[in-house]
Amino acid sequence: MMQHLLREFAPGYGGVERVAHSIANELGGTVFSLRFGKLSFDPLQVKYRRAHLKSFELGRLYLPLISRNLIDLVFSKKPLIAHLPCPTVLIIGLISRIINPKRFICFYWHSFIESKLSFTGILEIIYQFLALKIGIFFPVIVTSPVLQNTLISKGLCGKKIYILPCSLPDELEHLYAEISQNRKIKTSTIDTIIAICRLDSYKRVDWLIDAFSQTLAAKRLIILGDGPNRNGLELQAQNCIRTDQKVVFYGRVDEELKRRLLIEADLLVLPSDKSNEAFGIVQLEAMASGIPALAYHYRNSGMYWVSKLPSLEWSGRPNDLASLIQKLFTHPDLYKLACEESIIRYNHKFAITKWRKRLHEVLDNYPQINFVQSN
C-alpha cells in the first residue's frame, strides 16, 4: 500500500489536493496531511484512509508535533509520494529517506515558486533552493513539459523527471461530459465569462475585470471563489463596468452549483500571473465541458500550455485578453471550433484513461512498487 503526504486535507478544492486525491483513489493507501479537515462532508468520493499530522501553525508554515501518525509515516517502508511545494513535506521526505535509504520516495513537484523580495519571499527562496538541492536524490513527477524543462534547467536530472498532467476523477469527468453534450444544443448569445479561483493577489481577477469592461461583446462575468481581495474586487467591478454589463460574485460554491454555472458560461479565464499557478484543474473542468479556457503565458508555468488551442492566436499576454475575447464572442464559427478543440485536447491529453495509463507507466520504472494494486 502507498502512503501520500501533502500540506492540505484531501480531496479539498485546490489542485494539489485534487491530484493527491486522484492518485490515492487509484493506488489506495493512507493520505497524511498537515492541515486538519472535516470528514463530515467530502466534495468527491474518497476510497482511501486519511490521517492528520498534528502540527504547530506558524503563519503559513506547519511544524509537525511528535505523534503516532508522524512516527508511522517517517519510519514506514511503504512507498511514499510527497506533494510539493511545502517545506515541511520536503523535510519529512528527506528524513524518511535518511531513516530508510531503500524506501521508494517520490516528490510530486506541482509548481515552481516565484518570490518577491519580502520576508515571506526570502523564506520561499530558501525553500526552493533546498528543494532543488534535495530533489536531485529523488524521482520527481511534474504536471507539464514546461515545469519539467524548468527543473532540468535548475539542475535536476531529466531522466528522473516524469510528466503526469492532472486529470478529473471518473465521476466528475462523466458529469462534465454531460455538460458538453448539453452545450451542443445551446442557442443563446455568446457573452458570458466565468472565473473559478481564490480571490487573492496572485489570482489577477482585477485584470480580468478590467479586460471584461473593455470587451464590447462581453455582458456577464461570473466569479466563483472567495478570499481577502473580494471586497476590493467588488468595488472595482462597480466602478469600471458598463451599464450593459454585470459581474456576479458567488463566493465559494459546491460542485453541483459550479457545474450549473459552467453550463451558463461561454468562456473560462484563469487569470493568475505567477508560475505558482502551474496547472489549473478548472481549465480541465471547462475543457471537458466543451468550454474554451484561457490562461496567461508565464515562464515556468504550464497553465498556458494546458489549454492552448490551435485555432486561437493567443499570445498569453494580459494586454491581449480583451481583444481575443471580443474576437471569440463575435465570430461564432471560430468560437464553435475552439469549443470542439477544447474537448479534443482534453480527451487526448488529460482524460482519466490516459492519466491512469501514464501513472502506472511512471510507477513501472520502479519495480519495488509493482505490487501496488488499483482500487
Grid cell of 87 as nine digits: 517545506
Beta strand ranges found along 26-104 (DSSP E) = 30-33, 49-52, 55-58, 61-64, 80-84
Beta sheet of 49-52, edge-to-edge order: 49-52, 30-33, 3-6, 80-84, 105-109, 140-142, 161-163
User: 202-214 burial, b if ≥16 CB within 10 A, otherwise e?
Assistant: ebbbbbbbbbbbb
Amino acid code (one letter) for 361: E
Are 329 and 215 in contact by the 8 Å Cβ rule? The answer is yes
Q: Which three cell numbers stand for residue 286?
A: 471547462
Average pLDDT over residues 280-305: 93
Class of domain 3-167+352-369: alpha beta
Cβ neighbourhood burial of 275 (10 Å; 0-12, 13-18, 19+): buried
Give the pLDDT confidence of 40-89 residue by residue, as tens digits.
Answer: 677 888 999 999 999 998 877 899 999 999 999 999 999 999 999 999 99
Average pLDDT in the 344-371 region? 87
Contact in structure between 110 and 84 (CB atoms under 8 Å): yes
pLDDT given at position 369: 63
Confidence of residue 167 (pLDDT cuts 50, 70, 90): very high
Q: Would you state the CATH architecture of domain 170-349?
A: 3-Layer(aba) Sandwich (3.40)
Tens digit of each residue's pLDDT (9 = 90 or more) over 210-256: 999 999 999 999 999 998 999 999 999 999 999 999 999 999 888 88
Cα angle, residue 23 at apex, residues 258 and 74 outer, rounded to 5°: 125
User: Domain-by-domain residue ranges, the chain?
Assistant: 3-167+352-369, 170-349
